[in-house]
Chain A
């Protein structure tokens, strides 16, 4: 069964430092992986996705993620954190549903707190 794990409930980073938000996955077949960000009382915003190709995927707002097949990981990274990056981050994996449509299975979420 497809699943996603985000082992950290919260990540604290000082502004200007690099940040990493961890995600590991379990899928049958090739993984389609996504990262989304949620600001308070808002819907989710798409950051980036991995479908195929280069293992390093670049996305919105300076974020990137590295797909590592051997470690079944898809960690989100940013070289220099901003206070405005503070939000809730979700990793997700595509799950093939019945009838041909595809669903997203979300991790539990990681709250990123960037301190000035």
Chain B
């Protein structure tokens, strides 16, 4: 199946700093990518939809100025957690639909564990 990578896999940062997480589709193009947040032993919460060439669409309750999303190319989307605080500590996962169509199953990255001290 298609491969989605994330970098870094794990990051620890100080409170107040910004952290950038990259999501790449390695062998296919994705005009749309999705960013999720997962708390321990909890389900995935969709944060936003990243759209290549246009602004991201955020879910209700997600601060767009806090979680900046940039879909720079057909294979790369980045999530920047700005002025991170301990409550932002979480497991962040991205995904992209197979075959470029959001009707298809999504392929997920391995996740990035963010710890804010």
Contact = CB atoms under 8 A, between A and B. Distances in A.
A, B in one complex = yes
Interface of A: 32, 34, 36, 41-46, 49, 51, 90, 94, 97-99, 101-109
A49 B108 contact: no
Contacts, number: 59
Nearest to B111: A43
A106 B93 contact: no
Nearest to A4: B43
A43 B46 contact: no
Nearest to A108: B43
Contacts of B43: 90, 106-109
A43 B42 contact: no
Contacts of A45: 108
Interface string B43-64: 1101001010000010000000
Interface size class of B (residues with CB under 8 A): 20 to 34
A26 B66 CA distance: 32
B67 interface: no
Give the 4 A-B CB pairs with smallest separation, nearest first.
A43-B108, A102-B102, A44-B108, A43-B110
B107 A46 contact: yes
Nearest to B44: A106
Interface string B76-117: 000000000000000101010100001101111111010000
A102 B57 contact: no
Contact of B110 (A42, A101, A107, A109): A42
Given A90-B43, A104-B46, A106-B43, A99 B107 contact: no
Nearest to A36: B108
Nearest to A107: B43
A95 to B, nearest CB: 9
A32 B108 contact: no
B57 A32 contact: no
A41 B44 contact: no
